[in-house]
Amino acid sequence: MRLRNKPWAKEMINDNLDLISVQPTDMQGKWQSKFEKEQPLFLELGSGKGRFITDLAKQNPQNNYIAMEVQEGAISLLLKKQVEMKLPNLQLLLDNGSKLSELFAENEIDGLYLNFSDPWPKTRHEKRRLTYKAFLEQYKYVLKDDGHVKFKTDNQGLFEYSLISMNNYGMKFDEISLDLHNNEGLNLNNIQTEYEEKFSKKGFRINYLKAHF
């Protein structure tokens, strides 16, 4: 979902470049320098308004996190939160997910989160899905050998497509659930996104998987 432009967004971004990077060209292998200390580094691709990634960062101070979003309107709302919270283990990134191998060095990321990505249901838009093989190739490049991808969606079609796409790419599945919120073992430490909470309350099942290369 595309958010309306925020007239204050650009000014806020320009005033807080210590908290957000905008289409950087020289950060490959250097992301740890953005944080107070070097720790395992995790990336959320498509952070939206940021409830998931901020809660995750607060609960896990032993890790560093990057919230990546292509929409200026969405990431500006997340930046507004981070200006107030100043979480030392969270950095924001405004850029396109199709450029991961240009933004990050090989084996730089410990784990990747995909939460409620745009399903792009039309066949002609397949290449835009974040679990399309071209994206998986980039994930494999930036992730460490023991790195993982965690994926959640309420869209059954996208989930089925993702299972097939990842399997065809040779990925191995560690965890799979077709109803995450009713899977006590997997849901125990689940952090919900704004979208997830809204649609699960309406009865939508949440699909989840964890996989590695």
Residue 42 φ/ψ, nearest 5 degrees:
-120, 150
Known binding residue 118? Answer is yes
| Residues with active-site annotation | 118
Known binding residue 184? Answer is no
Residue 141 CA to residue 151 CA, distance in Å, equals 18
Known binding residue 195? Answer is yes
> Would you report the helix, strand and coil content of the chain in percent, each value rounded to 5?
40, 25, 35
Known binding residue 144? Answer is no
Closest CA to 43 of 87, 98, 108: 108
Known binding residue 194? Answer is yes
Q: What is the 3-state secondary structure (H, E, C) of 91-138?
A: EEEECCHHHHHHHCCCCCEEEEEEECCCCCCCHHHHHHCCCCHHHHHH
Known binding residue 122? Answer is yes
Known binding residue 197? Answer is no
Inter-axis angle of helices 72-85 and 51-59, nearest 10: 30
Return left, alpha or beta for 46; rule: phi > 0 is left, psi -120 to 50 is alpha, else beta. left
Closest CA to 56 of 87, 80, 83, 31: 87
Amino acid at 109: I
Known binding residue 201? Answer is no
Residues within the annotated binding site? 44, 69, 96, 118, 122, 154, 193-196
Residues within the annotated binding site for S-adenosyl-L-methionine? 44, 69, 96, 118
Residues within the annotated binding site for substrate? 122, 154, 193-196
